[in-house]
Homo-oligomer: A and B are copies of this chain.
């Protein structure tokens, strides 16, 4: 870095931390949408945002961290936890199945979910960050509210079931609309989620 970036903005104030972060996120969102996770380069994102590439590491840690921050995650975890718990513990599994299909189903929310899903298969660090988000912000709070034992195991079993379901329903097509509509999927999967949420594991 031979030049001070502020020198290029003689009439503007020096951009603040949150503006720099927002500029990086906006550039990342465009580049990832255009080129996908593997195809977008941190160098190009830094250039678009007019920042030094080292600032990306500073703010987001890694490409995986930037990606997960840039994706418009369509699930509000607190509201989702409240929705799954509303109406008592007996039907929590059914409500979780319903919330899951409602987010994966429509194209506009499925886009970012699938982008994260696909990037997670390409980069284990994305898989870890995505899995931790789902576990820590969504599944463990639900299991806490249910006062469940072995919460980490239960969260792992639930995410296994939901990821596999998302894959077979929306990617491979092995559980396509010709096999079952959403209500039939909810009927089939609700007792399984209920078992993992609140049933005896042994």
Contact = CB atoms under 8 A, between A and B. Distances in A.
B174 A167 contact: no
Interface string A139-168: 000000000001011011101111111011
Contact of A121 (B121, B160, B164): B121
B202 A187 contact: yes
Nearest to A128: B172
Contacts of A89: none
Interface bin, chain A? 35 or more
Contacts of A191: 195, 199
B189 A175 contact: no
Contacts of A105: none
14 contacts: A135-B174, A150-B180, A153-B180, A157-B175, A157-B188, A159-B168, A159-B174, A160-B161, A160-B174, A163-B168, A164-B164, A184-B201, A188-B201, A188-B202
